[in-house]
Amino acid sequence: QKTSFHRSQTLDFKNGYAFSRLPREGVGGETLYENQLSQEELDDLCSKGATLTYGQVKRSAPSSFTPAFVTYDKKVLKFDAYFQEEVPISAEEHYRIRQVGIYYYLEDDSMCIIEPKVKNSGLLQGKLMKRHRVPKNEQGDYYHWKDLNLGIDLTIYGRTYRLVNCDAFTKVFLESQGIEVNPPEELVSDPYTEQRRTPVQKRIMPTGPDPFRQFLTYDTKVLRFYAIWDDTNCAFGDHHPCVIHYFLADDTVEVREVHRRNDGRDPFPVLMRRQRLPKIFVDKNKNFPSCVLEITDHEVQEWYSPKDFGIGKTVTLLGRTFLIYDCDKFTQDFYREKYGITDFQPVDVNKKPLEKAPQVIPPYNGFGIPEDSLQNCLSLFPKPPRKDIIKMLENNLKVLRYQVALESPVPEDKNRRFILSYFLSDDTISIYEPPVKNSGITGGKYLKRTKVTKPGSTPENPIYYEASDFTIGSTVEVFGHRFVIIDADQYVLNYLERHAESFPAATVQSIRDHFLPRKVVVETTSSGIPKKELDDLIVEVQKELKLQQPFNTRQFHEAFHHFDKEGSGFLDKTRFLNICDRFNVPTSTILLKKVRWKGCCACG
């Protein structure tokens, strides 16, 4: 009833060296007795007797015991084999031959199957069967090295392996064990793998251009031309600047329109999509439609190529005519290398500016100021003339007032007096006539506030009256009416003296000379003479002068100024009497005594 059959350990290491020793226990842990004789030794003792005087012949000691797993350690039988695998899902191969190596380990009678890995094979290769004892049949037998030989079929787990060869150690071992090794067979190769390994037959180059080679050579290389599309023959046509792209990879052409800001066109960048453009068509039948959706190679005799484009050439693309006037640097290099063209002078396509017709300004019609009327000739929607805002703010409420007399052949107009107001803020003039009782003339506004042009100025270049044009005795012509300045207010003198650098010296001096007699009267009044007596004296002298008809007051003033060379306003008695005699002015002794010798004061 023995159940334990394990063997004791007989292999050990000492000082790094492996050695074997005798077992201490028997199989299953049985006790081993020292000097125990085997059954054969007992049989010899029983059957043999003493044959020699000195005892039996000494027998050699038995050899040391070595287990089988020690004897066959790291000794492996290696067979080259292959198996056939069906491929039901491929149209290129129906079966596949897979080469493997079958390894038999003599130490424990185990086996393993390994398939060499092939890069990019797409198969799960390597160890197909792990190392173990392989069952031979359903009775529980296992494969033994005696079952292995060359040229046999070995079925393992339903897969049949054909053993075709082995290594030298395997052959020597089998022959040493009395097994006749069959001759080796040729290892069958996989037909699909051999087909893949065969060199690909060189492709015969076509006689014409190769599209694939052209694509690889000229991919991303584009010729760029700058052109003008002349569309002036159509209604509302114009010159459209365009860019023509010629793609060298597939000989296609694309046209893009260049848009500018506010050009009045829809912003569609592509005028013609990228496509091959026919140059010459094959002769068509009369019943062939002129408009087709697609054009094949059979209908086109020649397509557009790079030689059809160039600076200065005119090309017709789908019915539109384009004038090429320039190209980019890459295009110039391409034509220089391939066609030997060196002249790339751009064509001048800039429009010459149209000669502007001179604008004829119609004559001024008298309505409003010339600048305001001129706006109707310059714009369809006239705008008011621009004003000098700075000048208006600086001279606001500054007005120069003058007393003027009307020059008219009508006797009734000789005694009419007007107030001329000059507004410094906008250089406008207004004239007002103070009403005089029982004169028969209705006073009031004679001229509303407006700019007045000088005589001789044109509507294109109007010249208006300025503050420097108003001097005592000067004539102002207002729309055909002539007015003579005979007086000014005190503000005019003060303003001219404060801004003397902005006015001519003659204008300032004229106003000063006019106000000089008044200044003398003021000084006389302030000197102690009663004002009433001075006023009566002036009235009496004026009456005496009015009796003399006609009397030229202007020449009389000029004579006084002529003799008063120093401009002091004083004349001695002798010169004063000589001037009075020249103009036949009666010199009363009583008046001369009363009048001080001051120029221009007696003339009032």
Rounded to whole angstroms, the Cα distance separating 88 from 122 reads 16
For residue 590, being part of any structural domain is answered with: yes
Residue range of the domain that includes 583: 546-602
pLDDT exceeds cutoff 60 at 587: no
Per-residue pLDDT, 529: 57
Domain boundary pick from 492, 524, 556: 524
For residue 465, being part of any structural domain is answered with: yes
Rounded to whole angstroms, the Cα distance separating 96 from 110 reads 28
Torsion 592-595-597-598 (CA) sign:
negative
The reply to whether 99 and 229 lie within a common domain is no
Does an H or E element contain 261, and which?
none
Domain boundary pick from 146, 172, 197: 197
pLDDT in tens, 39-83: 677 777 776 665 655 656 666 777 777 888 888 898 999 999 999
Phi-psi region of 122 (alpha: psi -120 to 50; beta: other; left: phi over 0): left
Q: How many domains in the chain?
A: 4
The reply to whether 441 and 553 lie within a common domain is no
pLDDT exceeds cutoff 50 at 597: no
Tokens representing 254?
């694309």
Q: How many CA atoms lie within 13 A of 48 on its CB side?
A: 12
For residue 369, being part of any structural domain is answered with: no
- Least confident range from 130-144, 157-171, 273-287, 423-437: namely 273-287
The reply to whether 187 and 238 lie within a common domain is no
Per-residue pLDDT, 84: 94
For residue 203, being part of any structural domain is answered with: no
For residue 569, being part of any structural domain is answered with: yes
- Least confident range from 282-286, 351-355, 451-455: namely 282-286
The reply to whether 143 and 114 lie within a common domain is yes
Rounded to whole angstroms, the Cα distance separating 424 from 430 reads 12
Helix and strand numbers, DSSP H then E, in the chain = 14, 22
Residues with Cβ within 8 Å of residue 182, at least 6 apart in sequence: 149, 150, 151, 152
Query: Global pTM?
Result: 0.38
3-state secondary structure (DSSP) of residue 195 = helix
Q: Are the C-beta atoms of residues 184 and 165 closer than 8 Å to each other? A: yes
Apex 81 CA angle, 75 and 82, nearest 5 = 150
The reply to whether 85 and 143 lie within a common domain is yes
pLDDT exceeds cutoff 60 at 434: yes
Phi-psi region of 221 (alpha: psi -120 to 50; beta: other; left: phi over 0): beta
Peptide bond before residue 504 is cis, with ω within 30 degrees of 0: no
The reply to whether 105 and 229 lie within a common domain is no
Per-residue pLDDT, 545: 67
Residue 532 is classified by DSSP as: H
Predicted confidence band of residue 604 (pLDDT cuts 50, 70, 90): very low
The reply to whether 473 and 422 lie within a common domain is yes
Count of CB atoms within 10 A of residue 341's CB?
Answer: 14
Rg, the chain, Cα only: 69
pLDDT exceeds cutoff 90 at 103: yes
Supply the CATH number for residue 182's domain. 2.30.29.170
Does an H or E element contain 272, and which?
strand 270-275
pLDDT exceeds cutoff 70 at 523: no
For residue 56, being part of any structural domain is answered with: no
Angle at which helices 505-526 and 490-498 cross, to 10°: 120
Rounded to whole angstroms, the Cα distance separating 252 from 221 reads 12
Apex 277 CA angle, 274 and 279, nearest 5 = 165
The reply to whether 435 and 330 lie within a common domain is no
Per-residue pLDDT, 579: 77
pLDDT in tens, 362-409: 887 777 777 788 888 888 898 888 888 999 999 999 999 999 999 988
Domain boundary pick from 305, 339, 373: 339
Q: How many CA atoms lie within 13 A of 215 on its CB side?
A: 4
Predicted confidence band of residue 551 (pLDDT cuts 50, 70, 90): low
Rounded to whole angstroms, the Cα distance separating 186 from 79 reads 13
**What distances in angstroms separate CA 23 from CA 20, 108, 395, one per listed residue?**
9, 20, 140
For range 475-500, the mean pLDDT: 92
For range 260-282, the mean pLDDT: 88
The reply to whether 388 and 520 lie within a common domain is yes
Per-residue pLDDT, 603: 39
Rounded to whole angstroms, the Cα distance separating 539 from 526 reads 19
Per-residue pLDDT, 590: 54
The reply to whether 129 and 235 lie within a common domain is no
Apex 332 CA angle, 327 and 334, nearest 5 = 125
For residue 235, being part of any structural domain is answered with: yes
For residue 31, being part of any structural domain is answered with: no
The reply to whether 402 and 298 lie within a common domain is no
Tokens representing 538?
């002036």
In the chain, what is the straight-line distance between the N-terminal and C-terminal CA atoms, in Å? 179
The reply to whether 105 and 134 lie within a common domain is yes
> 221 versus 439: which is more confidently predicted?
221
Closest residue by Cα to residue 80 from 171, 180, 172: 171
